C-alpha cells in the first residue's frame, strides 16, 4: 500500500521570472532516484514519484548526471502518461553521458549503470547533444527549465559556457524547445556574474539560502531581484547537517570531520571562507536545533519552511527516495511554525538580520 497524506493541502505555485510558467513550491529532486547516496530500485522509484504526484507536487527536477541518465529515464517513464500541461520539468546541460568499460560515476550514484559515465562539455555542440539525449530519455519534445549545470568545476568552464553553452541555450529557447533558462550552482559568486548575461529567468541555487547559510543575501539576491530572476533552491538541508547535525553528517557534500575544510576545497563544490570549519557549522546548526526543540519543532521542519518567506524563492527542490519521505516533507511544509519562533532565531542572531520571516 502506497503512503498517502490524509490531510492533503494543495501545494502553492509561484511564477518563474517574467514568464507564464508556474512551479509548485515543493519540487521533486531526483538525484536520489539516480542512486545518490544509496541505491533505489525501479519499483521504489516509481512509488516515490507516484506519491509525489498524488500529493500535489507538479515540478520535477532531474539531470543527465544523476545516475548517468538513470534518473531521467525513470522520470520519463513516469511522466509519459501524464498530461504535458500538468507538470513542469527541469533538466540540465554541461555533461554528456558516454559509454565506458568502468564507470566512475557508478561509484557515487549507487546502482547506476556500470557501462555509462559522463564528461563535461560546455561547448555549443555539446549542449545540443546533451539536450537531445535528455529529450530521448525523458520521452518529451520540450523541457520547461533548462539549467546550465556546474560550470565552476574547472577554471576554463565558465568562459567555455559563455562562448558556447549559453548561446546554444538561448537558441533552444528562441525555437520554443525550452521555456526558461537557468543555471544550477552551489555558490553565489559565479551566479552573480551569470546574472549579468541578461538571459536567465531563474537560478537553481544549492545551499546558500538556507536556515544555516544566508550568504546569497550579500550580492546574489539583490541582483536577482533587480533582474527579475527567480530562485529555485536546492540543498535546503545543506547535505544533511540540517537534519541531524553531528561529525558524521555532511555539509556541502563533505563530511564534517577534521578534514572538512580541505575536503570541500578539493571537491570544487565551492571555496570555503577562512572563518569556516566543521566546528563552526556544527555549533551553529546545534544552536538552531536547540531553539527548534524549545518550540517543539524539528530542525528539518524549520529548514523546509524558512526559504518561502522570501518572494524571490519560487520553489525548493527536495531530494526524496521513498514515499514516506515525500509525505513527511509535505507535512513539514504545511504545518507552519509560529512567527515568534522565527523572530527568536533572528533575535539570537542565528539567522541573518536581513532574512525575511513573515
List, by residue number, the catalytic residues.
61, 66, 92
Q: Max alpha carbon distance in the chain (Å)?
A: 57
Phi, psi for residue 78 in degrees, rounded to 5: -75, -45
Grid-cell match 550552482, residue found:
185
156-178 CB burial, b ≥16 within 10 A, e <16: ebbebbbebbbebbeebbeeebb
Spatial distance between the Cα atoms of 215 and 92, rounded to a whole number of angstroms: 24
Burial class (CB in 10 A: 0-12, 13-18, 19+), 284: middle
| Residues contacting residue 293 through CB under 8 Å, at least 6 positions apart | none
Spatial distance between the Cα atoms of 357 and 344, rounded to a whole number of angstroms: 11
Q: Where are the alpha helices (DSSP H) in the chain?
A: 42-54, 70-79, 105-108, 124-138, 157-160, 166-174, 189-195, 220-226, 260-267, 278-294, 299-305, 323-334, 339-347
Q: Give the cell for residue 315.
A: 520553489
Q: Give the cell for residue 240.
A: 544533511
Spatial distance between the Cα atoms of 146 and 255, rounded to a whole number of angstroms: 30
Taking Cα atoms as reference points, which of 340, 285, 323, 320 lies closest to residue 36?
320
Spatial distance between the Cα atoms of 291 and 298, rounded to a whole number of angstroms: 9
Per-position DSSP letters for 77-108, written without gaps between them: HHHTTS-GGG-EEEEEESEEEEE-SS-SHHHH
Helix axes 42-54, 70-79, angle to 10 degrees: 50
Phi, psi for residue 131 in degrees, rounded to 5: -65, -45
Amino acid at each position: 500500500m502506497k503512503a498517502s497524506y490524509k490531510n492533503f493541502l494543495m501545494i502553492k505555485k509561484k511564477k518563474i521570472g517574467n514568464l507564464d510558467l508556474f512551479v509548485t513550491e515543493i519540487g521533486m529532486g531526483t538525484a536520489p532516484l539516480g542512486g545518490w547516496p544509496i541505491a533505489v530500485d525501479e519499483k521504489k522509484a516509481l512509488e516515490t514519484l507516484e506519491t509525489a504526484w498524488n500529493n500535489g507536487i507538479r515540478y520535477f527536477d532531474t539531470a543527465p548526471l544523476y545516475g548517468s541518465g538513470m534518473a531521467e529515464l525513470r522520470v520519463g517513464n513516469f511522466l509519459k502518461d501524464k498530461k504535458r500541461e500538468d507538470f513542469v520539468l527541469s533538466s540540465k546541460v554541461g555533461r554528456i553521458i558516454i559509454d565506458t568499460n568502468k564507470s566512475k560515476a557508478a561509484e557515487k550514484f549507487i546502482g547506476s549503470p556500470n557501462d555509462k559515465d559522463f564528461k563535461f562539455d560546455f561547448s555549443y555542440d555539446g549542449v545540443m547533444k546533451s539536450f537531445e539525449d535528455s529529450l530521448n530519455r525523458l520521452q518529451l519534445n520540450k523541457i520547461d527549465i533548462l539549467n546550465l549545470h556546474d560550470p565552476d568545476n574547472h577554471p576554463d568552464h565558465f568562459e567555455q559556457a559563455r562562448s558556447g553553452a549559453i548561446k546554444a541555450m538561448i537558441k533552444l529557447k528562441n525555437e520554443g524547445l525550452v521555456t526558461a533558462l537557468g543555471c544550477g550552482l552551489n555558490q553565489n559568486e559565479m551566479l552573480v556574474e551569470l546574472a549579468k548575461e541578461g538571459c536567465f529567468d531563474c537560478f537553481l541555487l544549492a545551499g546558500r539560502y538556507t536556515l544555516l547559510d544566508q550568504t546569497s543575501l550579500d550580492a546574489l539576491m539583490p541582483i536577482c531581484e533587480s533582474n527579475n530572476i527567480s530562485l529555485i533552491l536546492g540543498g535546503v538541508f545543506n547535505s544533511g547537517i540540517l537534519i541531524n547535525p553531528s561529525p558524521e553528517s555532511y555539509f556541502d557534500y563533505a563530511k564534517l570531520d577534521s578534514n572538512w575544510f580541505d575536503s570541500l576545497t578539493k571537491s570544487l563544490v565551492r571555496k570555503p571562507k577562512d572563518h569556516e570549519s566543521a566546528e563552526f557549522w556544527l555549533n551553529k546548526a546545534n544552536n538552531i536545533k536547540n531553539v527548534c526543540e524549545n518550540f517543539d519543532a524539528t530542525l528539518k521542519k524549520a529548514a523546509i519552511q524558512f526559504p518561502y518567506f522570501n518572494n524571490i524563492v519560487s520553489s525548493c527542490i527536495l531530494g526524496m527516495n521513498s514515499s514516506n519521505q515525500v509525505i513527511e516533507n509535505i507535512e513539514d511544509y504545511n504545518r507552519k511554525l509560529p512567527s515568534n519562533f522565527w523572530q527568536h532565531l533572528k533575535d539570537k542572531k542565528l539567522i541573518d538580520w536581513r532574512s525575511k520571516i513573515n
